[in-house]
Chain A
Amino acid sequence: MENQHTPQDQGSLDNFFNISFDTATRAQIRQAAVWAKLYAICAFVGYGIALVVAFFGRLSDVNYEGGEGFQMSASFRSGRILGALLVAAIGVFINYFLYRFATSTIRGIDAMDNITTNDGLNHLRRYFRILGILLIIALSLLVLFFVFGLLAGLNRLG
């Protein structure tokens, strides 16, 4: 009698795939999450360093001594800071999801908790989705630049 499932139990069991997180699979996912966490932390620290270099680094290859040289170095510095800020903002945004994937998945796997593990996998989904969308935007811009370059070249010839 104890082994028989009630209709309610049967319904909840129907919600499962015939795929289990066995010991080996759990270990694989956990290791993946640990390495993902390491990568995300390295990325966060890297963006921090890039920002420090952009804000406080020397401009050794640009002339500082008065006139145009000074103006060029000032605009070069502000451009470098803006570029670093933009890259850091996008990078932190992307890697935040990777970090959340890692922390939630490790917690879920350790506690054998489906909901927390799903939350971690959901962050991995968001991470790949954002990367995909950014890649589509980058490819579209590349095609756009190529077409405009081609048109400009044809205009110059014609």
Chain B
Amino acid sequence: MHLDYDGGNILRETVRWSRFLAIVGIIALCIYLLLFLLAGAVIASLFSKFAPGLEQLEGLAGGILIAILLVFFGVFGVLVYMLYRFSSRTRKAIEQQDQAAFADGMKCLKVYFIILGIFGVLTLLGNLLSLITVF
């Protein structure tokens, strides 16, 4: 089973769009990180207002917020990195007829969808929880 010209052209356009999405994702991640570094104290005080019980525990609210943001930035960072790597490796594979790069690109696509799948399952569990609490 080989990659034919139709498949190659389809993949070429796929990686063009996925590259665009990955680059915008990386820029958005950098902006969020910068915002958090510049206005971290303000965000932490806002978080304390939303969770007033945590004010009594000194520094805990800030710690929880930092932990949540680190997990978010980490997961989102890996997601966009995998998308970018999928596009760059697959493009290289098509342009240079490189089998190893093609396999690597498909591996990155797999990791991207694994992360997305886990995120989807967790979101669904959250939705089910909201369904229980709403009724």
Give the Cβ gap from A103 to chain B, nearest Cβ, in Å: 14
Tally A-B pairs: CB < 8 A.
135
How many residues of B sit at the interface, in one of the four size bands? 35 or more
Could you say which of B14, B20, B99 has the most chain A C-beta atoms within 10 Å of its C-beta?
A: B14
- Binary interface profile of A, 136-151, with partner B (CB < 8 Å = 1, else 0)? 0001000000000000
Quick one: which of B6, B20, B120 has the most chain A CB within 10 A? B120
**Bound complex: CA of A43 vs CA of B17, how far in Å?**
22
Closest B residue by C-beta to A14: B5
* Given A28-B109, A39-B117, A122-B10, residue A131 in contact with residue B17 (CB < 8 A): yes
Is B134 an interface position by the 8 A CB rule? yes
How many angstroms from the CA of A39 to the CA of B107 in the assembled complex?
A: 17
Alpha-carbon separation in the docked complex, A45 to B13 (Å): 30
User: Is the CB of A135 closer than 8 A to any CB of chain B?
Assistant: yes
Residues of A within 8 A of B102 (CB): 19, 25
CB-contact partner of A42 in B7, B21, B121, under 8 A: B121
Q: Point out residues on B near A: beta carbons under 8 Å.
A: 1-8, 10-11, 13-14, 17-18, 20-21, 24, 93-94, 97-99, 102-103, 106-107, 109-110, 112-114, 116-117, 119-121, 123-124, 127-128, 130-131, 134-135
Instruction: Please name 17 pairs of A and B residues whose Cβ atoms are closer than 8 Å in the assembled complex, sorted by A.
Output: A16-B5, A17-B3, A17-B97, A19-B97, A20-B2, A28-B106, A31-B110, A33-B113, A39-B117, A42-B121, A46-B123, A49-B124, A49-B130, A53-B130, A125-B11, A128-B14, A128-B17
